[in-house]
Amino acid sequence: NAGVTQTPKFRILKIGQSMTLQCAQDMNHNYMYWYRQDPGMGLKLIYYSVGAGITDKGEVPNGYNVSRSTTEDFPLRLELAAPSQTSVYFCASSYGSSYNSPLHFGNGTRLTVT
């Protein structure tokens, strides 16, 4: 199993550009999550999904959109990039929602907006 795969690893965007961060998991997990991590800080939840076709906002959803058309994929869309979105983005998945379902994380996408 590859686990959780994120692409690209790095990206530089100009202000106002848009892009999609890709996330795929091959563990047949129902739950998927997008976090951002600013330098020296913990992780903040952007959006999450409990299954194909179902998404919901996390703590910091403004400026982002998501979709979940398949169990495997959970892309994150930035429509009008802003410098405040410079961050490292992590995608994660879990089998269920209970305490016995640990999160599995990808290795992140480092995004710079200038």
Partner 1 sequence: DAKTTQPNSMESNEEEPVHLPCNHSTISGTDYIHWYRQLPSQGPEYVIHGLTSNVNNRMASLAIAEDRKSSTLILHRATLRDAAVYYCILRGIIQGAQKLVFGQGTRLTINP
Judged by CB under 8 A, which of 21, 76, 94, 111 binds partner 1? 94
Size of the site for partner 1 (CB under 8 A): 28
Cα R_g (the chain), whole angstroms: 13
Q: Which is nearer to partner 1, 22 or 101 (CB)?
A: 101
Q: Between 63 and 92, how does the x/- string for binding to partner 1 read (CB under 8 A)?
A: ---------------------------x-x
Binding segment for partner 1 among 14-22, 66-74, 76-84, 106-114 (CB under 8 A)? 106-114
Question: Binding residues for partner 1, per CB under 8 A?
Answer: 4, 31, 33, 35, 40-45, 48, 50, 56, 58, 90, 92, 94, 97-99, 101-108
